[in-house]
Amino acid sequence: MIEKYKHPLLFYSLATLIPWSFWMVAGYISHLTPHTDENLRVASVVAFVGLLGPPLIAYGFIRRDDVLWKDVMSRFFNFRAVRPVYLLLACLLMPASILLAQAVSLLFGYSPEQFVITGHFTF
């Protein structure tokens, strides 16, 4: 089955360049002054479009091949093949990495005030 997946370098190049291009534009828009709600809404939409890049690129690569389409759908919806340990890792990895990053930040002397929710972007 793996030989049906062609152009991996093109896929990974596009799946990296397209989202990062949108995210760079979103970052630029979010830093425009004056900081208006409209700028933040536009930046959020542009950033979300960047997130849609890789799945849309994958769809473009597999849409014409029925075998590939069935393979991808079976990988998405075959829950019996998922081992519980991987499900647990998928659910805990992100919160654990965020907590670890916060702990490292505090160890380097940064203030706990950095974790206060401000209601707006602070990147």
**pLDDT tens readout for residues 46-83:** 999 999 999 999 999 999 899 999 999 998 888 888 89
63 — phi, psi (to 5°)?
A: -60, -25
Q: What is the DSSP letter of 111?
A: -
Rounded distance between C-alpha atoms, residue 53 and residue 46, angstroms: 11
For the chain, give the mean pLDDT: 90
Q: Tokens in use for 73?
A: 């759908």
Of residues 35 and 44, the one with the higher pLDDT is 44
pLDDT reported for residue 122: 60
Rounded distance between C-alpha atoms, residue 39 and residue 26, angstroms: 9
pLDDT reported for residue 37: 85
* Sign of the Cα pseudo-torsion (102, 105, 111, 113, in order): negative
pLDDT reported for residue 121: 63
Which residues are within 8 A (CB) of 115 and not within 5 positions of it... i.e. 6 or more apart?
A: 102
**Three-state DSSP class for 108?**
coil
pTM here is 0.67
pLDDT at 112 over 80: yes
Percentage of the chain exceeding pLDDT 70: 96
pLDDT reported for residue 19: 97
To the nearest 10 degrees (0 to 180), the angle between helices 8-30 and 37-62 is 170
User: What would the mean pLDDT of 99-112 be, rounded to a whole number?
Assistant: 92
pLDDT at 115 over 90: no
Rounded distance between C-alpha atoms, residue 74 and residue 90, angstroms: 19
Of residues 107 and 1, the one with the higher pLDDT is 107
